[in-house]
Amino acid sequence: MAATHKFFALLGRLNLIKRWGLMRNTTEENVMEHSWQVATIAHCLALVGKQVFHRNWNPEKIATAALYHDCSEIITGDLPTPIKYHSDTISKAYKEIEQEAEHHLLNQLPDTLQSDYREFLIHQHLDEDSVFVIKAADLISAYLKCQFEVDAGNQEFKSAKLEIEKKIRALNCNEIDYFMKNFIESYQLTLDELLTQHAH
């Protein structure tokens, strides 16, 4: 039997990795669904940057990079933020582990595909625009999770929501402001309200 490449089989395990591991969740979130949400938000932010604010951003490239932004967690697991940034020593060690995991995943692809995937899988190869937009989308995704939990009566996420709001505002980004103004409020609607047709 010919050897097969393990890359996509490993990616398929992302739905088994839970996020927010140290916090009580009313609804669990896994890395696979988080990655999809970050990719769609990053794609929108990049489109807004390009179409509304005339930035030289590549929405498709940014969305693809966002889709893979946490795939190293197949190997590392999701290390909770309070632990990841508890000290410089832990942060540095985790960054080294993350980089090793990224290269390990890249090596699970056929040689002919590795050069195409490298810029999406290896964070060091990402351009500054992609890094910024993905970080913004990641924060918005985290904010939405916190908002969902707080709205469900789970005060465990109250402080995290406020902290993430501060980080979002600190980015001082027109594209983020556009997204927050035009899309965030609708996340609090019921299904019936989402499907209701309003007259214009």
Cα 14 to Cα 122: distance, rounded to the nearest angstrom: 17
- pLDDT for 79 equals 66
Q: Is residue 157 part of a domain?
A: yes
In the prediction, which pLDDT does 199 show?
45
At 19, the amino acid letter reads: R
Are the beta carbons of 74 and 101 closer than 8 angstroms? yes
Task: Encode pLDDT of 147-164 as tens digits.
Answer: 999 999 999 999 999 999
**pTM of the entire predicted model:** 0.90
Considering only residues 19 and 86, tell me which one the structure prediction assigns the higher pLDDT: 19
- Exposure string over 77-110, b if 16+ CB within 10 A, otherwise e: ebbeeeeeeeeeeeeeeeeeebeebbeebbebbe
Question: Which tokens belong to 132?
Answer: 């910024």
Three-state DSSP at 72 gives coil
Cα(52)–Cα(120) distance, integer angstroms: 26
Residue 199 lies in a domain: no
2 lies in a domain? no
pLDDT (average), residues 98-117: 95
> Is the CB of residue 141 less than 8 Å from the CB of residue 41?
yes
- Residue 196 inside a domain? The answer is no
Q: How far apart are CA 1 and CA 33, in angstroms?
A: 34
198 confidence band (pLDDT: 50, 70, 90): low
pLDDT in tens, 40-83: 999 999 999 999 999 999 999 999 999 999 999 998 877 666 66
- Cα–Cα distance, 66 to 70 (Å, whole number): 8
Is 192 within a domain?
no
* Number of other CB atoms surrounding residue 199 within 10 Å: 3
Would 152 be classed as within a structural domain?
yes
Domain count, the chain: 1
**Mean pLDDT score, 103-114:** 96
Tell me if 171 is assigned to some domain.
yes
Q: What is the pLDDT of residues 121-138, one digit of tens each?
A: 999 999 999 999 999 999
Domain with residue 134: its CATH number is 1.10.3210.10
Please state the separation of Cα 39 from the chain's center in Å.
7
